[in-house]
Structure 1
Amino acid sequence: MPEATAPTDDGNGVQIDLISGERMDGLASMEKIRIILDGVHDGNIVILEEGLSPEEESRLIEVTMAEIDPDGFNGIEIETYPQNDARDTSLLGRIMGQEDTAKLTVIGPANQIETLHKDETLISALVSRK
C-alpha cells in the first residue's frame, strides 16, 4: 500500500493522521508501532480506528522510552476509549471470543497534546503547535 504524502507544513496547523483498521490489519506489531512513532516523531497526532492490543500498547511504550531524546523527541501521550476495564478480558472471556478490540486510540507528541477530559464516550484534548 502506498504511503500518504503530507502537504508542506507552514507551521500554522497540526496534522492529524486517521489510520483505518484495514490499513493496520495484517501488519506485525513492530510495523504498527513504527507507523505510529514515525507520525508522532513528525509532530502529527495519530488516531487509530481500532486501537492496539494491550501487548502492542506495552511494546509501543517500551519503544517510545528507548527513543526519548532530551534535545528532541519528548515521548508520547496516548488515550484510548472505551476504557479497557469495561470489557471482559478474563482468560475465559478471550477463549470464548468475547474480547472486544473495537476502540479508538489517540496518540500524539507529549509536548503537544494534553488530555482535558476522558470518559467512556469522549476524549477531549488540547493540541498545541510546538
Structure 2
Amino acid sequence: MSEADDSSAGDADGSGVQLDMISGERMDQLASMEKIRLILDSVHDGNIVILEEGLDPEEESKLIEVTMTEISPDEFTGIEIETYPGSSKSSGGFFDRLMGRETETKLTVIGPANRLETLHKDETLISALVTRT
C-alpha cells in the first residue's frame, strides 16, 4: 500500500470537500485574533468553515481586513462569507436575562472564494455551490 492509499483524512485525494463545523462553545474560549486565525487557516487549506454562532460585527470586520492582506493571485483568492441570522432570540444566561439583554444566534458559512459560491440567500435559506477546484 502506498502512502497515498493510506490517507484517511480530509480531501487528500481531491474527491471531496472538508467541512469544519465549529461550536459556539469552542469559539467562546478563543480571543478574537485566535478565532480569525482558526478560520483563515482552515480556509487556506481549502475547507469550508461553519460557525454555530457566527462572529460579532467587529470580529467579522477584522476577518475581512486580515483576509485582504493575505490575498495572493496564485495562492489565496480570499473568502466568501454568508451569515444566516437566527429569527428567534436566545435569552442567554441568567445575568443576561436579569439585565434584559437578548442575543441573536446566527450561523455563518465561510469558505475559499474560488470554491464557495452563494446561489441564493434569504431569511430562511442559504444555498451555496461548493466546488473541488
TM over 0.5: yes
Give structure 2 stretches of 5+ with no counterpart. 1-7, 90-98
1:38 pairs with 2:45: no
Deviations 1:6-53 (A, max 9, x none): 805110100000001111112110000000000000000000000000
Percentage identity across paired residues of the two chains = 75
Runs of 4+ in structure 1 displaced over 3 angstroms? none
Largest Rg, 1 or 2 = 2
Alignment match, 2:118 = 115
Higher strand share: 2
Aligned CA RMSD, in angstroms, stands at: 2.0
Deviations 1:54-96 (A, max 9, x none): 000000000000000111100000000118xx98xxxxxxx85
| Matched residue count | 116
1:48 pairs with 2:33: no
State the distance in 1 between where 2:102 and 2:27 align: 21
Give structure 1 stretches of 5+ with no counterpart. 1-5, 88-94
Alignment match, 1:98 = 102
Alignment match, 2:9 = 7
